Every structure is written in structure tokens, then in C-alpha cells.
Amino acid sequence: RCSRPASLLGTLESHFGRPWLANERYGPQTPGDLLRLHSQGLASIGQIAAIGEWLLRRDSFDLFMIVVGAAHRIGHYLWDLSQIDEARLGRDELATLRQAMDDVYGACDAAVGRIASAAPAGARIVVYSLHGMGSNSGWTDLFPEIVRRLGLPASGAVRRRGLRDRVFQLRR
């Protein structure tokens, strides 16, 4: 979604379709949400690998950078299954969710291999990963308390400057 030049996005969508990973849905997830996220994420990682291969074979680059962002988002929701009642899941669903992060990291490894194999001989390849992943509910459960501490009206009608001042005061 953040391609340079911006016109490249249309070219990519015509060749590879729209991005497989849907917009993030913050907050607690249902088992069905998590299963969809797992499936979309794996498809997204494969799509990014295909895009990287295609671009590297199509053009010559001084610098080529591609982000496999699905792993980060999926990690927030599938790192642990504490937000769902595992006892209410079927055996296959539970097994899929318990295996989900291994699937994601395996797909990322395969994507890096595909992209690296398409790079020109002698290319310097740098791969990095964010560490310290943990579950993230999106903080939606904290929003009412944030609004209260900022002294904002529940209706949300606030002057911009006043809101900014309150946020910086809270930050200090």
C-alpha cells in the first residue's frame, strides 16, 4: 500500500490482486476472526514474496526494500490464545490456532528465500525482524479511561489545540 512511485500500486494490483491482508480490526478477536487472520496472513506473505520476486526480475535496483508486515500484525493476535475460550473450539480449529505462529514464521522464511533467490548475484541482503512480540488487544478497552484522564467530554467535541495540550500534559 505504500509503494514508490505511487503509481506502482496500481501495477501491482493488476498483476497480483488487492492486498490479501484486510485492514486491521482492533480489539479482542473471536476464534473465527483469528482463523481468518491466519489464513489471510499466510496468503499475504505469499503475495509479498511473489511481488518481490517479480520486481527483482523486472527491474534493476540500487536499493530494494520490501516489508513482510503480516507477521507483525498476526503476532499481536496469535502470539497467545488468552483472548478466547479454547474449550469452546473444535479440535481442528484449536490445532490450527496453536500452530499459527509457526506457520507464519515458516511462510516468512520461505518468502525471504524466494525474494533472495530473485536478487542479482552479489547483492547484499539484509533481513531483520522485530523482537519482543506479545499479545496486543489494540487498547480499545483502555479508551474510556484515556478519555476520562484527558478530561474530554464523552461526546468527543473538543478543540484541537486543547486536545494536543492535554495529551502532552498527560505524556509528561
- Ranges of residues in the chain with a pLDDT under 50 are 156, 158
Note the pLDDT tens digit of each residue in 38-65. 999 999 999 999 999 999 999 998 888 8
| pLDDT value at residue 104 | 93
| pLDDT value at residue 158 | 47
User: In whole angstroms, how far apart are CA 127 and each of 56, 62, 68, 100?
Assistant: 16, 17, 11, 22
User: Is the pTM for the entire model greater than 0.75?
Assistant: no
| pLDDT value at residue 98 | 94
| pLDDT value at residue 105 | 92
Q: For the beta carbon of residue 77, count every other beta carbon within 10 angstroms.
A: 25
Hey, what's the torsion of the CAs at 118, 48, 104, 85, to 10 degrees? 180
